[in-house]
Structure 1
């Protein structure tokens, strides 16, 4: 039996696992990545890359590749059956909020290839054709065994991350419940060429009394991803010919050639725990939901991004293992909110109840034409974009292990505009984030020697920028920014050292310089 020893074993080389492996390689953490497949995904599968994920790609140094290979969909065109009501400029909603407004369309297979190339550039690789067969934990970590074409592989690791999808072997072998439900309706997905009946430059959303359709542009020659629900009896197979007939009859949509067609059932589930000792769950292994909003792959990418820095701080001696509890307390509430919101939306567009059918039949035709003209002018538009693009995610920063319980006193407190959120973008202030280090930011006029003294006392770099009060970044305040770009704390410069040092990893002083 071949044996390997490493700091982190990652099971699953999809977008989440590859993102985690690429980040750990960048941060200098040893990891082994295994996957039961023979190679990278060939099917397009997930395809929407939101603004927050683009920012993470920028920080990783691969955003130019994503932009070169992707397709920007800056408008959404809602409609009812075969009628479109016009374009909603979602890209304009995000202007001034992020360097990457709008929705970037890049299928999962290409995301994986870009991340794999980045991993290989850092000296990493994937153990393909090595499905996980056993997993045991003890006080010192995990021992995993995989089958392989040249014989079994045993991996001894301090930590294990299951990024192996909705049927996660890591989750099952760890006996972690996967709580939720399965929708009774059949969902279909097709990649097609020569599409007619929907706009080629927009994401298309069409409602019907019985069915709905999503269409995403994927390139030239009418290349689109079509997704929707067909009304069939439970257990009835949906063929491509049936889907094509309904697309034409209900939505007036046809296509010349099919590249890929599949059907599946929609699950809405969240793992009961994202951490169990040295074992973690990320991406679909921890949460699955409907593709409404194109959030699934993005949430997994951000799970990996969040966890990578925590693992690095612990493994490299800057923090005790208690820091890893924050991964579940930060990311599981995000998954719960996402699953709950997509479940409600999916229930509305698929429910057989008379009220839901009436809403689908009446509201789009009655209010959508007015909303398209009105919403872009409303102050709420940037907020809506923030939720969709996942740049408005909030973490509680003032407790060692925040409770995910929505009924807790902490959850009912007012959330800060800056602290606990991803750093507001002002333009140049995202450039230092590429260093992937803890850092202090100041905005507006501040004595450079005073700012430097704060950085010296906290043993972090300090970066100063022009005033940005409209972003909530106040002059005279020091902002401690985590390596993942979230603001851990803020304090007036007079008390910054004493207050912000409490927000740094608990073994930071005297340990971080030796490992950087």
Structure 2
């Protein structure tokens, strides 16, 4: 069978090729460039816990050694104010004011107006990494991958989609015709694939603009990410002064200044002035500390959403399908979640024939999640940038503006948390055997320790992305015994037989515990880490029906023609 053609060799396209290779699907990546990435210190990406784990699975590299996780999050509004802020057990502030404090207890605002607290309710902090370092790790992994071919200096200029496959033509020194089973456009905001398919890309232009600088210096908060909403040295209004600083390895920082609306030219002189006044302000208002300016730029945020993400055997992913990034949200996160969702579905169709309901579910699930993220940003923007009432966005909420803005930066809430496929066409029907756990069906599972079939202890996320369903039995006490002592005892033989009989390959894992799960709860998990269902005990018929629904329904009900 022909390989999958991937158009675009950015992080999303390269990641998709590796995700397919892990499931024994060959691919060709059409790279219009020379196969090398420009090294820009000011061009960085932020990965949340789930997307960072995905990148580490695909590259085999501990990315924390190449980037930096924040040791804390600091939100600042003004200088020379000292106060204590009390928080209720649910994380809301007991008295009026704007503060960031997700945990119960007391947080102290220091003399520079910073409120310190644990990041994202104790969850791992986001990973900040230079984009060329990330793509370099992906390219290094591809170099030793037999199932991935990268065609450099190959720019797509035409494509034809047929019921039996896709034909694409590239121009350039190595221009030629390519034949593929499927084609995925990961070719960015100006996607040639999207234009050739005549798919509309409506939305909003220049939602935000940021001046960006990467520099090596010492700040008073080593390793901490910083949000300073209204520094006193900036007087251009509520949208003119916000500064964000994110640490990188080797004493490097990326600083972003929110620019006022408009198209005013950002000159080198203006950027240097902002660097000097910001560093001086953060260091007590005196002289500017020593710094080494490495790179500068202007980042413009657009909000757009493609009308369709699938046309027959052609799909869109990443910036070709959506643009977002206001209020601290990260577009690459969503692009990587796109390919994690799509890869296992393409692999199943590649190996076993068209699964139209399954392939259609990619657009249904991912487009709905990104649309909800864009709606949340559009609702919050007037409040956070225009100084409006927070209650107009969240009626009855006591959370401060800073806390709402931090959601996007820290990857939580409507602005930043991973999406849930609660209305997925792949969701199984509710059964009486369904059990309640802390993870809602359609949401990402918690990364607990599990015992694999070979008896080794691994993290649950390490078993994702291999194309198999995961079945996890919650069995307290199994963690202290070798697998050979309990694998043939109790309900294990019956569950193992049920897993073997499923309509798709599945791996049986055992966990000591899972948040909110009673003993003998059985979890069915998709290859991309989203919970299908939780069942009370071993229910072979219900487990089979849930697995069948996850694959798009019985094979006899599959459509024979692709989506238009």
TM score, norm. by length of structure 1: 0.80
Aligned to 1:169: 192
Counterpart check, 1:271 vs 2:302? no
Counterpart check, 1:421 vs 2:454? no
CA distance in 2, matches of 1:20, 1:498: 29
2:50 to 42, 46, 52: 52
Task: Give yes or no for contact 1:29–1:312 (8 Å, CA) kept in 2.
Answer: yes
Change (3 A) 1:484 1:273: same
Task: Give yes or no for contact 2:340–2:465 (8 Å, CA) kept in 1.
Answer: no
Task: Give yes or no for contact 1:490–1:496 (8 Å, CA) kept in 2.
Answer: no
DSSP 3-state at the match of 1:86: strand
DSSP 3-state at the match of 1:292: helix
Aligned to 1:393: 419
1:4-19 to structure 2, matched below 5 A, reads 6-19=2-15
Structure 1: segments with no counterpart, 5+ residues: 95-100, 360-365, 403-413, 511-516
CA distance in 2, matches of 1:282, 1:29: 18
Counterpart check, 1:155 vs 2:144? no
Change (3 A) 1:288 1:385: closer
CA distance in 1, matches of 2:535, 2:400: 46
Task: Give yes or no for contact 2:364–2:425 (8 Å, CA) kept in 1.
Answer: no
- After superposition, the CA RMSD in angstroms is 3.4
DSSP 3-state at the match of 1:297: helix
Aligned to 1:442: 473
Aligned to 1:245: 273
How far has the Cα of 1:225 moved from its partner? 0.8
How far has the Cα of 1:130 moved from its partner? 1.3
Aligned to 2:87: none
Change (3 A) 1:501 1:235: closer
CA distance in 2, matches of 1:315, 1:285: 23
Change (3 A) 1:356 1:394: closer
2:155 to 128, 131, 137: 131
Change (3 A) 1:183 1:506: closer
Change (3 A) 1:240 1:200: farther
Aligned to 1:217: 247
Aligned to 1:461: 507
DSSP 3-state at the match of 1:227: strand
How far has the Cα of 1:398 moved from its partner? 6.3
Aligned to 2:67: 70
Change (3 A) 1:186 1:419: closer
Change (3 A) 1:350 1:467: closer
Deviations 1:440-494 (A, max 9, x none): 11112652111112112215332222233xx133333322211112222333413
How far has the Cα of 1:368 moved from its partner? 8.3
Aligned to 1:405: none
2:126 to 91, 95, 103: 103
Change (3 A) 1:398 1:163: closer
DSSP 3-state at the match of 2:44: coil
DSSP 3-state at the match of 2:464: helix
DSSP 3-state at the match of 1:449: helix
CA distance in 1, matches of 2:277, 2:376: 30
CA distance in 2, matches of 1:134, 1:91: 46
CA distance in 2, matches of 1:260, 1:137: 42
Change (3 A) 1:460 1:146: same
1:295-334 to structure 2, matched below 5 A, reads 295-317=330-352, 320-334=355-369
CA distance in 2, matches of 1:206, 1:448: 54
1:32-47 to structure 2, matched below 5 A, reads 32-42=28-38, 43-44=40-41, 45-47=43-45
DSSP 3-state at the match of 1:106: strand
Structure 2: segments with no counterpart, 5+ residues: 80-111, 231-237, 283-287, 393-398, 429-435, 451-458, 477-489, 557-564
TM score, norm. by length of structure 2: 0.74
DSSP 3-state at the match of 1:155: strand
Aligned to 2:263: 235
DSSP 3-state at the match of 1:269: strand
Change (3 A) 1:67 1:276: same
How far has the Cα of 1:386 moved from its partner? 4.5
1:119 to 103, 119, 142: 142
Change (3 A) 1:388 1:201: farther
Deviations 1:56-103 (A, max 9, x none): 234436242x12211111311111256441333216521xxxxxx111
CA distance in 2, matches of 1:310, 1:54: 21
CA distance in 1, matches of 2:75, 2:222: 13
Q: Higher Cα Rg: structure 1 or 2? A: 2
CA distance in 2, matches of 1:289, 1:219: 26
Task: Give yes or no for contact 1:9–1:160 (8 Å, CA) kept in 2.
Answer: yes
Aligned to 2:551: 505
Change (3 A) 1:195 1:53: same
Counterpart check, 1:187 vs 2:218? no
Task: Give yes or no for contact 1:162–1:285 (8 Å, CA) kept in 2.
Answer: yes
